[in-house]
Amino acid sequence: MTTLSNNVADLAPHDRTRPLKKGKVKPARDLCSECGLCDTRWVAYVKQACPFLHQQFEAMELEVHGRSRNLDLEEELYFGVYQRMLTARLKQPIIGAQWTGIVSRLSIKAIETGLVDAVLCVQQSEEDRFTPVPILARTADEILAARVNKATLSPNLEVLEQLSGSNIKRLLVIGVGCQTQAFRAIQNTLPLDAVYILGMPCVDNVSRAGLETFLKSTSKSPDTVIHYEFMQDFYIHFHHSNGKSELVPFFGLDTPKVKDIFAPSCLSCFDYVNAGADLVIGYMGAKFGYQWLTVRNSRGEQLLQLVEPELEIQPVTSSGNRHAAVQQGIDAYNQSIRLPSWMASIVGWFVQRIGPQGLEYSRFSIDSHFTRNALWVWRHHGEKAEKHIPLFAKKIVSQYRLPS
């Protein structure tokens, strides 16, 4: 006869565990990115799965792509394992999408062609445009309602609780790096037959309160912002509900105020380019108006083929030299220097014309963020810096002179 205790022992760890109670301090404490894993029974695996407790790029890349990145090849050092890289825009852009809407269109095709049963994506709350509401979407309308970035930490993985008992067996997951890393670590324990990950690059995310501070210190009309992006022309482009656009030069940011708003998770993150996704869609390696696509493996290729006929494609390009600008940025950030707006506009004008473009712009952004984040980790979590900062990031950071 089987005893109750034997039955319990036979259960998988996630079937013996409850989600953490809402409001309880998460295992990664101040470094938690609220990825949603701890709001599910899969919190059982948090010690191995949480990217802020146990980062494991090499093992993840090996398992997902069949090899880890080659640190001696500059493009892999920066952008991770990949098979193909291109820039593209939808011939018929989706109105209201963050860029041209390739992510939403591809997701709709994945449902319509039967490649997957559902798409994990993020809608917004009815009351607030920037409050994320993750869902398992099964229709084109549900996917379209998730278009455009909610530029705040989003608990995407909390919806994994809804998988059991649903008839979802094939899932497309849309997410940023920390969500991808946690998902990959528990993927094999989920009741799924097939998984595809469409990742986005991500940096400098904020809590909802942090976003308020950012908008108030940066935009002339913070309450009407419906969409914004840090663009490759070195300006932040805000779009307002009255249809107007507002451009603010990066170099005019109120550094002393803005410095503290980014989530500690994002100040300690080195997964800007979403290393564990099958396909990554961002913008920063492309010229203005285009999106930047990185196909990492054959599943990523399968995803891209769903929309390829609908894309206007161009090869990736690279020009300029980022190094001096990155070094100046490190020193200015460390001293919390804020340029007057007239000077910021002049600097912006020059950098836009002679500064890094295409892949070199991506490297500029990666260098700037990795140096800042390495400094932040050394200063705030010195005890974990050696293990937490991955080899590829150490190699990138070592090109610069950092303040002590």
Q: Which helix (H) or strand (E) segment is 391 a member of?
A: helix 391-397
How many whole angstroms separate alpha carbon 107 and alpha carbon 115? 10
How many whole angstroms separate alpha carbon 195 and alpha carbon 184? 10
Establish if 233 lies at the interface with ligand SF4 (CB under 6 A): no
Among ligand FAD, ligand SF4, none, partner that 149 touches (CB below 5 to 8 angstroms by kind): ligand FAD
In terms of DSSP bridges, do strands 194-199 and 245-249 run parallel, antiparallel, or are they unpaired?
A: unpaired
Q: How many CB atoms lie within 10 A of CB 319?
A: 12
Q: Is 227 exposed, middle or buried (0-12, 13-18, 19+ CB in 10 A)?
A: middle
Site string for ligand SF4, 139-178 (x = CB under 6 A): ---------------------------------------x
Q: What residues pair up with 122 in beta bridges, in sequence order?
A: 134
Establish if 35 lies at the interface with ligand SF4 (CB under 6 A): yes
Q: Which is nearer to ligand SF4, 173 or 307 (CB)?
A: 173
Among ligand SF4, ligand FAD, none, partner that 98 touches (CB below 5 to 8 angstroms by kind): ligand FAD
Site string for ligand FAD, 143-162 (x = CB under 6 A): ---xxxxxxx-x-x------
Establish if 52 lies at the interface with ligand SF4 (CB under 6 A): yes
Least Cα distance to 102 among 306, 273, 288 occurs for 306
| Token pair of 99 as six digits | 């860029």
Among ligand SF4, ligand FAD, none, partner that 203 touches (CB below 5 to 8 angstroms by kind): ligand FAD
Among ligand FAD, ligand SF4, none, partner that 38 touches (CB below 5 to 8 angstroms by kind): ligand SF4
Establish if 291 lies at the interface with ligand FAD (CB under 6 A): yes
To the nearest whole angstrom, how small is the minimum distance from the Cβ of residue 197 to ligand SF4? Answer: 16
Least Cα distance to 135 among 102, 107, 115 occurs for 107
Q: How many CB atoms lie within 10 A of CB 10?
A: 10
Site string for ligand FAD, 160-199 (x = CB under 6 A): --------------xxx-----------------------
DSSP 35-101: -SGGGSGGGGGHHHH-TTT---HHHHHHHHHSS---TTSHHHHHH-S-SEEEEEEESSPPTTSSSS-
By CB under 6 A, what part of segment 122-141 binds ligand FAD? 122, 132
Least Cα distance to 294 among 78, 72, 79 occurs for 79
Among 36, 51, 201, 356, interactor with ligand FAD by CB under 6 A: 201
Establish if 34 lies at the interface with ligand SF4 (CB under 6 A): yes
Phi–psi pair at 246, nearest 5 degrees: -135, 130
Establish if 38 lies at the interface with ligand SF4 (CB under 6 A): yes
Residues binding ligand FAD: number (CB under 6 A):
35
Among 46, 326, 330, 393, interactor with ligand SF4 by CB under 6 A: 46
Contact 111, 139 (CB under 8 A): yes
Establish if 292 lies at the interface with ligand SF4 (CB under 6 A): no
Residues binding ligand SF4: number (CB under 6 A):
15
Q: Which helix (H) or strand (E) segment is 171 a member of?
A: strand 170-175
By CB under 6 A, what part of segment 179-198 binds ligand SF4? 182
Establish if 270 lies at the interface with ligand FAD (CB under 6 A): no
Give contact residues for ligand FAD (rule: CB under 6 A): 97-104, 121-122, 132, 146-152, 154, 156, 174-176, 200-203, 205, 229, 281-284, 291-292
Give contact residues for ligand SF4 (rule: CB under 6 A): 26-28, 32-35, 37-38, 46, 49-50, 52, 178, 182
